[in-house]
C-alpha cells in the first residue's frame, strides 16, 4: 500500500510538469509590428516648400531657376511681401478672345495680396507655365493680372509652394473611347488590393495616373516634349 501511494504521488507530479498553461502568453497581443519603410517617394507626391526670395531678385526667374535645377514642377499657392515696377498683362476685351491683352507697367512699391500659378522646367508646353498676381498700392487700390515681365522683390518675399515630379495632360472634352478607358482603369484600381510591395515600388498605372497614351505623359527626367494638338 505504501508503494502504491508513492506511485500516485509521482504520477501527479508528472502530470503537473507535462500540463501546459492555457491561453496566450502574457503580452503576446501587444508585440510591436515591424515598421513599413518607404524607400522612395512616388513621382506624384507633393512636397510643401516655403521659399524666400531676396530683395532685388526677380521672383519669376528665381522660381524658373529652381524648377530647372531641381527638375521639378512648382505649384505656387500664395506669397507675402512687396514688389516694385510690375508689368501686368490685362485680359483681352476683344470678342475674338485672342487671350493677349495690353501690358500695363505699374511704377512704385506694391504689397502682394495673392500670387498663384505654376512653373515647369523645360521643355514645358506653351500656356502651362505662368503666374498671376494681385497687388495693393499705397492708396489702397487693388490691381492684378498675369505677370508679363520681371517681378522684382522690394524686400523679402516668402512664397508658399508645392513641388511635383511629373504631370499628365488631358485634352478636353474627352473622346468616347477615352471615357471608356478611364472608367475601366478606375474600376481596376478600385477592385485591386494594394500590398506592401506596391508601397516599396508603386505600380506604373498609379505613377502615371492618366488615361492618355504614353506620349502625352510629361516627365521631366525623360526630357520629352508634349506633342502638339
Which residues are bridge partners to 88 per DSSP? 104, 147
In this structure, the answer to whether residues 157 and 182 fall within a common structural domain is no
Q: Quick one: pLDDT at residue 197?
A: 44
Q: Quick one: pLDDT at residue 166?
A: 80
Asked whether residue 73 is assigned to any structural domain, the reply reads yes
Asked whether residue 225 is assigned to any structural domain, the reply reads no
CATH code, domain with 133: 3.30.1330.80
Q: Quick one: pLDDT at residue 187?
A: 60
Asked whether residue 220 is assigned to any structural domain, the reply reads no
In this structure, the answer to whether residues 63 and 124 fall within a common structural domain is yes
d(CA 146, CA 148): 6
DSSP string computed for 46-102: -EEEEEEEPTTSBHHHHHHHHHHHHT-EEEEEEEESEEEEEEEEPPP-STT--S---
d(CA 226, CA 168): 10
Q: Quick one: pLDDT at residue 193?
A: 47
d(CA 67, CA 45): 16
Q: Quick one: pLDDT at residue 207?
A: 37
Asked whether residue 90 is assigned to any structural domain, the reply reads yes
d(CA 56, CA 46): 29
Q: 3-state class of 129 per DSSP?
A: coil
Which residues have CB under 8 Å from 199's CB, separation 6+? 36, 38
Q: How far apart are the first and last CA of the chain?
A: 106
CB-side neighbour CA atoms (13 Å) of 134 = 8
In this structure, the answer to whether residues 141 and 198 fall within a common structural domain is no
In this structure, the answer to whether residues 58 and 162 fall within a common structural domain is yes
Contact 223, 123 (CB under 8 A): yes
Contact 134, 143 (CB under 8 A): yes
In this structure, the answer to whether residues 79 and 182 fall within a common structural domain is no
Q: Quick one: pLDDT at residue 227?
A: 42
Q: Quick one: pLDDT at residue 155?
A: 94
Q: Quick one: pLDDT at residue 175?
A: 78
d(CA 159, CA 74): 11
Q: Quick one: pLDDT at residue 23?
A: 67
Domain total of the chain = 2
4 phi, psi to nearest 5 deg = -65, -35
Q: Which domain holds residue 145?
A: 47-168
In this structure, the answer to whether residues 126 and 205 fall within a common structural domain is no
Going residue by residue through the chain, which has 229 residues, state the pLDDT in tens, using 9 for 90 and above: 555 555 565 555 555 555 666 766 666 666 677 777 766 767 678 899 999 999 999 999 999 999 999 999 999 999 999 999 999 998 776 645 555 788 999 999 999 999 999 999 988 777 788 999 999 998 899 999 999 999 999 999 999 999 998 877 777 887 777 666 666 666 665 555 444 444 444 444 433 444 434 444 455 544 444 444 4
Q: Quick one: pLDDT at residue 222?
A: 43
Kindly report whether the peptide bond that precedes residue 171 is cis, defined as omega within 30 degrees of 0.
no
* Largest interatomic CA distance in the chain: 121
Cell 508646353 locates to: 125
Q: Quick one: pLDDT at residue 56?
A: 95
Amino acid at each position: 500500500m505504501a508503494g502504491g501511494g508513492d506511485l500516485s504521488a509521482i504520477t501527479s507530479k508528472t502530470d503537473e510538469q507535462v500540463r501546459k498553461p492555457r491561453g496566450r502568453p502574457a503580452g503576446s497581443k501587444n508585440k510591436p509590428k515591424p515598421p513599413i519603410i518607404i524607400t522612395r517617394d512616388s513621382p506624384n507626391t507633393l512636397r510643401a516648400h516655403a521659399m524666400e526670395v531676396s530683395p532685388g531678385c526677380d521672383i519669376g526667374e528665381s522660381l524658373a531657376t529652381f524648377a530647372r535645377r531641381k527638375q521639378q514642377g512648382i505649384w505656387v499657392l500664395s506669397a507675402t511681401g512687396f514688389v516694385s515696377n510690375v508689368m501686368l498683362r490685362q485680359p483681352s476685351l476683344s470678342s475674338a478672345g485672342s487671350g493677349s491683352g495690353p501690358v500695363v507697367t505699374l511704377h512704385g512699391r506694391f504689397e502682394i495680396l495673392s500670387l498663384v500659378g505654376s512653373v515647369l522646367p523645360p521643355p514645358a508646353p506653351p500656356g502651362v507655365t505662368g503666374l498671376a498676381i494681385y497687388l495693393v498700392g499705397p492708396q489702397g487700390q487693388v490691381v492684378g493680372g498675369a505677370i508679363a515681365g520681371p517681378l522684382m522683390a522690394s524686400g523679402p518675399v516668402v512664397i508658399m509652394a508645392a513641388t511635383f515630379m511629373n504631370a499628365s495632360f488631358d485634352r478636353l472634352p474627352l473622346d468616347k473611347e477615352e471615357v471608356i478607358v478611364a472608367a475601366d482603369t478606375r474600376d481596376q484600381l478600385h477592385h485591386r488590393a494594394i500590398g506592401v510591395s506596391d508601397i516599396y515600388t508603386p505600380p506604373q498605372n498609379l505613377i502615371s495616373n492618366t488615361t492618355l497614351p504614353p506620349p502625352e505623359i510629361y516627365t521631366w527626367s525623360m526630357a520629352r516634349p508634349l506633342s502638339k494638338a
